[in-house]
Each structure stands twice: as structure tokens, then as C-alpha cells.
Amino acid sequence: MNPLALVTGASDGIGLEFCRLLAARGYDLILVARRQSLLEDIATQLTLRHAIRCHVIPCDLSLPQAAETVFGEVRQRGLSVDLLINNAGLLFNGFFHELPLRQQESLLAVNVVALTSLCHLFVNDMAERGGGQILNLASLAAWTPIPNQNVYAASKAYVLAFSLALADEMKAAGSGVHVCALCPGYTRTAMLDNPAQGGKLALPGFLLHSAEDVAREGLDACLAGRTVCMPGAANRLGAVATRLLPRLWQAKVMGRGYRLLQG
Ligand SMILES: NC(=O)c1ccc[n+]([C@@H]2O[C@H](COP(=O)([O-])OP(=O)(O)OC[C@H]3O[C@@H](n4cnc5c(N)ncnc54)[C@H](OP(=O)(O)O)[C@@H]3O)[C@@H](O)[C@H]2O)c1
């Protein structure tokens, strides 16, 4: 029987690349996102190309109890998840006080609440079965405060800290569950050019990674038992360099930079 992976945000960007890579490696898949017809097309393509099984669970992860809905659906279909990839995420660029409150709340609901709840539900399920793997999408943004991507960066700082602590807890508990945080830098996806999410950042091309490379590096790191993965040497250098600055200066420097990028 094939191992089974559940990928949130499977309809686009890095999530879609995870699905393609996993299908090529013989994983069956559960695809979760809001756009059901897109997920069904992806499921059909991957099933035909790789002779795997694909299940589609359309779900808006910003809604209350969304994680329980997904978990309940997985149970009802008699499926057991070996690898959970918490990839769905939202980003809004702009001044915190100008961005609508509802947007910030939906960001927190998807990036923080749904991710945490899915970890809780699946970690228990995996531990009962003797093990499993969880890959959480943090970001390079997790490592510093970022004015004008304020709530996004703070949500990713949460994901990183939560994942590191959870990885340690799972090991200490002898659960057999491994947790890894993936911290990509700028990646060429719709997220960086989405008018509904605050528009485009003027990023130089050399800073951009491909979604496929990011997904491959993250997946390999997780399956190899690593706890953190930051694709790209320049990103690793940038993260170390900014952390050498005092915290207050980090915010000032990043704020200047982001306001320039946002025009
Ligand atoms: N791109 C980057 O530069 C970058 C850098 C660092 C980290 N990341 C992180 O990587 C992850 C993937 O980002 P990406 O760049 O691939 O983004 P993307 O291309 O915008 O894709 C986002 C995915 O999340 C899903 N999604 C959004 N809101 C949702 C909701 N309310 N409920 C369920 N699914 C939802 C979307 O599907 P539907 O619209 O069909 O729901 C889509 O499949 C995110 O966590 C992001 O923060 C990205």
C-alpha cells in the first residue's frame, strides 16, 4: 500500500509542487484547498500520470473548526495520513492599520489556527499508529519582524517556534512523529503577485526561487529527519545577518526595505 500525504493549499504554488513530487514518489494524496474544481483536475492528472490514489477535500481553512472538518472527513473515508504538509497560507502587504481587520483575522485563522489544530489532530492519530511526519510552512519572514508584512511575519514566527518545540516534544514523548519547519525565501508563486493580497512586490529576479525547488528541498529535509530547512544559501546568509542586528534595528531595516519594494 502507498504511503498517504495530506497537503493543504494543494491547488497552487508550493503546495501543488509538493503534490507533483509526492505523486512521482508513489504517495497517495489528500488535496485540501478552497477551489474544488481545480483540486479535482489536479487529482485526475496525478492519478493518470502516476497510478496513485487522490482524494479531494475542499475546505476553507479560515472557517471555525475547519481542521476538525478535514480530520473528520479523513476518518470517515477510512484513511490514515503518514505525512501532513501544512502549506496553505495567506499574505497581505501594507500598513497594518490600513488593511481590513477581517483579512488579518483570516490570515491568522489559516496560517496559525488551522495549522495548529491540524497538527494536534493528526499528531495524536500518528502517535497512536507509531509514527508519522509533519512539514509546516514557515518562512524566511519567521526570523525577523517585518513592517508592512507585520501579521504575516508574526504568524510565521509562530509557525517556526511552534514547530521547533513540537518536534522536541514528539521526540521526548517517543511518539515516532517527526516535525520539520520549512522556511522558504521569496518563491515565484501567485502569493507574491496577488492584488487580493496587497499586490506585487518589486523583487529582483535573482532573489526568487522556483516553487518546485523549494518543495523538493523541504520534502527531502523532512523525510531525512531534519527539523528546519531554509532553501538557498543567500537566504541562510540573510537570516544570519539580520539576526546579528538588535531586534529594534531589525524592524527598522526591514521596514525601510519593504516600503521600498512596495513602491
Ligand atoms: N511564495 C513565497 O515567496 C513564500 C515564501 C515563504 C513562505 N511561503 C509559504 O508557503 C506556503 C505556500 O505559499 P505559496 O506561495 O505557494 O502561495 P499561493 O501560490 O498563494 O498558494 C496558496 C495556497 O493556499 C490555499 N489557500 C489560501 N487560503 C486558503 C483557505 N482559506 N483555505 C484553504 N486553502 C487556502 C490556496 O488555495 P485556494 O485558493 O484554492 O484555497 C493555494 O493552494 C504559504 O504558507 C506561504 O506563507 C511562501
CATH number of 4-261: 3.40.50.800, 3.40.50.300, 3.40.50.620, 3.40.50.720?
3.40.50.720
Listed by start position, the domains of the chain span 4-261
**Does residue 8 have a pLDDT over 80?**
yes
**Does residue 172 have a pLDDT over 90?**
yes
Tell me, what's the pLDDT at 56? 98
Mean pLDDT score across all residues of the chain: 94
**Does residue 197 have a pLDDT over 70?**
no
Rounded to 10 deg, the angle between the 13-24 and 36-50 helix axes is 20
122-136, 201-215, 217-231: the lowest-pLDDT one:
201-215
Tell me, what's the pLDDT at 171? 97
Percent of the chain with pLDDT over 70: 97
Tell me, what's the pLDDT at 173? 96
**Does residue 193 have a pLDDT over 90?**
no
Tell me, what's the pLDDT at 256? 87
**Is 156 annotated as catalytic?**
yes
At 90-110, the pLDDT tens digits run 999 889 999 999 999 999 999
Report residue 240: phi and psi, to 5°. Answer: -65, -45
Largest separation between any pair of C-alpha atoms in the chain: 53
**Average of per-residue pLDDT across 160-166:** 98
Tell me, what's the pLDDT at 257? 83
Nearest one of 106, 101, 103, 181 to 142, comparing CA atoms: 181
At 245-263, the pLDDT tens digits run 888 888 988 888 878 877 6
Return the SS3 of 55.
strand
Tell me, what's the pLDDT at 196? 66
Q: Ligand 1 pocket: which of 84, 85, 115, 187 to mutate (most atoms <8 Å of CB)?
A: 187
Cβ neighbours for 147, distance < 8 A, ≥ 6 positions apart = 251, 254, 255, 258, 259
Query: 91 C-alpha to center of ligand 1: Å?
Result: 8
Query: 12 C-alpha to center of ligand 1: Å?
Result: 7
At 17-42, the pLDDT tens digits run 999 999 999 999 999 999 999 999 99
Percent of the chain with pLDDT over 90: 81
Tell me, what's the pLDDT at 253? 87
Query: 242: pLDDT confidence band, cut at 50, 70 and 90?
Result: confident
Q: Decide if 142 contacts 157 (C-beta within 8 A).
A: yes
Query: 195: pLDDT confidence band, cut at 50, 70 and 90?
Result: low
Nearest one of 118, 119, 114 to 175, comparing CA atoms: 119
Query: 194 C-alpha to center of ligand 1: Å?
Result: 11
Give the C-alpha separation, 69 to 102, whole Å: 22
**Does residue 198 have a pLDDT over 70?**
no
Q: Ligand 1 pocket: which of 34, 40, 92, 93 to mutate (most atoms <8 Å of CB)?
A: 34
**Is 252 annotated as catalytic?**
no
Tell me, what's the pLDDT at 199? 60
